[in-house]
Amino acid sequence: MLANTAPTTVVAVRLHTVTKGSGSPIVFIHGMGTSAAGWDSCMSLLADRYLVVAPDLLGHGESPVLDDPDEYTRDRTLADLDELLAELDEPAVLVGHSLGGYLALAHAATRPDATRGIVIINTGPGYRDPEKREAWNERSRRNAHRFGVPEQVTTMNLQEDSVVMDRLAEMQTPTLVLAGGDDRPEYIGAGEYLERKMPDARLVVVDGGGHSMHESSHASEVADLVADFTAGLPPAGKHRL
């Protein structure tokens, strides 16, 4: 099982994974072109109360780099996360940044009740309009060389459908949406939309926070928000009335 009282690294299935602390699990999902290392500050601040877990997504950090683009689809990535979560003793809280936040939303949309809650940072739910979705995908393909990972890995950033948008109104998973006040305004707009559409979502705008505010001087504020959200959730196996 993934339980450690000191920082260590383990291999959970095929993803290189870093764990710290002990207690109820919080799993951190990084964005495109970054790695588990981006969560170091937040994990260190929370490891005295929680088991904190951060995988390197496939093709990132110290995880394997495979040649087949089909290994990097959203659904294959969610399956990798499922295998990691299955190693834990109880349901986790997922915390995702950017692409990782979208993956957390997609996980909650397609796997109801699999996690205790999700925290998403500077991200959105994707696109219902096929033309807007394809415009996003085209920008992602055009900018693939800028992500700092092999081109096939950037398949992970493509929007395949509108499953998150289509299911927002029925997603009961408690959700905390964090948006940086100094990040692009569309993330605040996306957060406001999620707060309106989801049954149990709350938006917090972090004053002065940038896109990667969990890695900056705002790491302590982000960690406190994650801790407060987690502490307010029902115990594993119980649901809000």
Confidence of residue 13 (pLDDT cuts 50, 70, 90): low
The CA-CA-CA angle for residues 73, 79, 82, to 5°, reads 145
Q: Is residue 238 part of a domain?
A: no
Q: Which of 6-15, 210-219, 229-238 has the lowest mean pLDDT?
A: 6-15
- With 70 as the cut, is the pLDDT of residue 10 above it? no
**119: CATH:** 3.40.50.1820
Residue 115 backbone phi and psi in degrees, to 5: -130, 165
SS3 133: helix
204-216 mean pLDDT = 97
Confidence of residue 3 (pLDDT cuts 50, 70, 90): very low
117-122 mean pLDDT = 98
Task: Please report how many Cα atoms fall inside a 13 Å half-sphere around the Cα of residue 137, on the Cβ side.
Answer: 15
Average pLDDT, the chain: 93
Q: What is the pLDDT of residues 81-102, one digit of tens each?
A: 999 999 999 999 999 999 999 9
Q: Is residue 101 part of a domain?
A: yes
The predicted structure's pLDDT at residue 237: 62
105-126 mean pLDDT = 98
Confidence of residue 235 (pLDDT cuts 50, 70, 90): confident
108-122 mean pLDDT = 97
The tokens of 111 are what?
């796997």
Instruction: Give, for 28, the enclosing helix (H) or strand (E).
Output: strand 25-29
The predicted structure's pLDDT at residue 9: 46
Alpha-carbon distance of 56 to 54, in angstroms, equals: 7
**Number of domains observed in the structure of the chain:** 1
The predicted structure's pLDDT at residue 240: 42
The predicted structure's pLDDT at residue 83: 95
Residue ranges making up the domain that contains 70: 8-231
Q: What is the pLDDT of residues 120-177, one digit of tens each?
A: 999 999 999 999 999 999 999 999 999 999 999 999 999 999 999 999 999 999 999 9
The tokens of 64 are what?
């394997």
Q: Is residue 79 part of a domain?
A: yes
- With 60 as the cut, is the pLDDT of residue 7 above it? no
Predicted structure pTM score: 0.93
